[in-house]
Amino acid sequence: MPASAVSDRSAERAEVTQPAVRIEHLSKTYQGTSRPAVDDLSLTVEEGQIFTLLGPSGCGKTTTLRIIAGLEVADTGSIHFGGRPVVDSSRGLSLQPDKRGIGMVFQSYAIWPHMTVAQNVAFPLKAQKYPRAEIADRVARALALVGMDGYQKRPGPLLSGGQQQRVALARALAPEPRVLLLDEPFSNLDAKLREQMRLEVKLLQKRLGIAVVFVTHDQVEALSLSDQIAIMRDGRIQQLGRPLDLYEAPSNEFVRDFVGKTVLFRGSVEAVDSSGELTVVLSGSECRVTGRSSVGASMGVGTPVHLGVRPEDIKIASAALPPDPAGAIAGIAHTALFVGERVEYQVEVPGQDAIVIYGTRYEPIPEGSGVWLKLRGTSHSVWRAEAADSTE
C-alpha cells in the first residue's frame, strides 16, 4: 500500500466507526480430529485497542490468530477488517495472507537468516510496491521505533533474541498495517527482557494507535498489556472483558483459576437477601462472610459452596495479637517459606483444606504458631461446590 493510503486510512478511522477486526461465528475443525479447534467464536477489536486471546495450550487461540492472518482457513464464519470482508465462508471468500494488510510477529520471530536487518524490514515494503526512493527511509523509521536504528547492515543470524524480536516488530510495522498480530512474542525471552519488551510494546502501540491482537498463555502478560481479554478453552471463549473484570469477577471456575491465584474456603449458604447477596458460614468455624455468585446461579439456604478470595485480600496475623473476632478465621501456620518479595505460609484451618497465605517479611510469624486470617473487602465470590471438587 503506497504512502498516500496512510492519510486515507486516518481519515477512514475518523469518519467510520467500524471496528478494526470483527469476527463472527468462526469455526474450524482440523481433519482427523473430532473436537473443533475453534468453536463458534465471535469477538470485536476496536481501533487502537490491544485485544488478547489468553488460554492454555490447545485452547484454539493460535488457530484463531492464524485464521485472522490467513495462514489457516476457517470452516465457517466471517472476518471483517474495518468493515471490509476478509473471510466470508458463505461466499467462499478467504483472502490470501499477502492481501490482508496485516503485520505479524511470530513466536520464533522468523528473521530471515540470509538477509540483513535492513533487507528483512524492507521486504514487506518491496512486496507491497512502496516507491523505491522511500524504502530506505521507512526502514530507518521503523527501526527507530523499536530502538534498532543503526543495525541496518547486521546479518540476521547475528542478532540476539531480544534484537530479533525488535526487528520482527519493525518488519511487521514498516508497511503501516491496520492490524498487528502477535503470536506469543515474548515467550522466548528471559524474564527481565520480557518485562522490558512488554512495556515497550505497550508504549509503542499507544503511540501508533494501531489495533493489536495478542496471543499468550501467560496471564500476567495478558493482564498488564490488554484493553480486552478473551479467555479461551477448547475453542470457545469462556469470558470476555477488561483485565480487572476478569480478575475480580470471573464468570466460571476455569477463568477464576486461570487468572491469578484463588484461595478457596469451604462453607454453606446460611442466608440469601433480596439483592442476591449470600451469607456464607465457613465450615469448621463460626465465621460468616458475605458474597455473591458471579455465575448467577441461584443458591438456596444450605447449598455447599466455595468462597473464593484472592490471596492478597487475606491478612494474616499472629494469634498472640488481639484478634478482631468479626470475620477472623483461626488457624495454625505450619510452614513459612521466604520467597523474596513475601513470605508464604501454609496454614491449616479446621474444616478447610490447607491454604497458602502471603505475609510480609516485616511481621514474621514463627512456624507452628496460631494465626488469625482476616478477609479484606466486603463481598467475595461464591461458587457452588460440586461433588467432584476439582478446580480444572
273 burial type by CB count under 10 A (0-12 exposed, 13-18 middle, 19+ buried): exposed
Number of residues that bind other proteins (CB under 8 A): 29
Residue with cell 540483513: 116
Q: What's the closest the beta carbon of residue 28 comes to other proteins, in angstroms? A: 13
Instruction: Candidates 103-111, 136-144, 208-216, 334-342: pick the segment binding other proteins (CB under 8 A).
Output: 103-111
Q: What's the closest the beta carbon of residue 62 comes to other proteins, in angstroms? A: 12
87 burial type by CB count under 10 A (0-12 exposed, 13-18 middle, 19+ buried): buried
Among 5, 110, 193, 385, binds other proteins (CB under 8 A): 110
Residue with cell 474456603: 265
Q: What's the closest the beta carbon of residue 59 comes to other proteins, in angstroms? A: 20
As a three-state string, the secondary structure of 2-38 is CCHHHHHHHHHHHHCCCCCEEEEEEEECCCCCCCCCE
| Cα-to-chain-centroid distance, residue 8 | 32
Among 54, 69, 299, 309, binds other proteins (CB under 8 A): 69
Which residues ranging from 129 to 188 are in contact with other proteins (CB under 8 A)? 168, 171-172, 175, 181
**Residue pair 146/127 in contact by the 8 Å Cβ criterion:** no
If the CB atoms of residues 189 and 259 are measured against other proteins, the closer one turns out to be: 189
Report d(CA 291, CA 272) in Å as an integer: 10
Among 19, 36, 55, 70, binds other proteins (CB under 8 A): 70
Instruction: Candidates 13-21, 112-120, 238-246, 294-302: pick the segment binding other proteins (CB under 8 A).
Output: 112-120
Q: Which helix (H) or strand (E) holds 243?
A: helix 243-248
72 to 101: interface string for other proteins, x by CB under 8 A: ------------------------xxxxxx
Instruction: Candidates 87-95, 109-117, 209-217, 282-290: pick the segment binding other proteins (CB under 8 A).
Output: 109-117
Report d(CA 26, CA 78) in Å as an integer: 6
> Between 132-145 and 161-173, two packed helices, what is the crossing angle to 10 degrees?
130
Q: What's the closest the beta carbon of residue 183 comes to other proteins, in angstroms? A: 9
Coil, strand, or helix at residue 389?
Answer: coil
Q: What's the closest the beta carbon of residue 223 comes to other proteins, in angstroms? A: 27
358 is a contact residue toward other proteins (CB under 8 A): no
If the CB atoms of residues 168 and 210 are measured against other proteins, the closer one turns out to be: 168
Give the footprint of other proteins on this chain (CB under 8 A): 31, 69-71, 96-104, 106-108, 110, 112-114, 123-124, 127-128, 168, 171-172, 175, 181
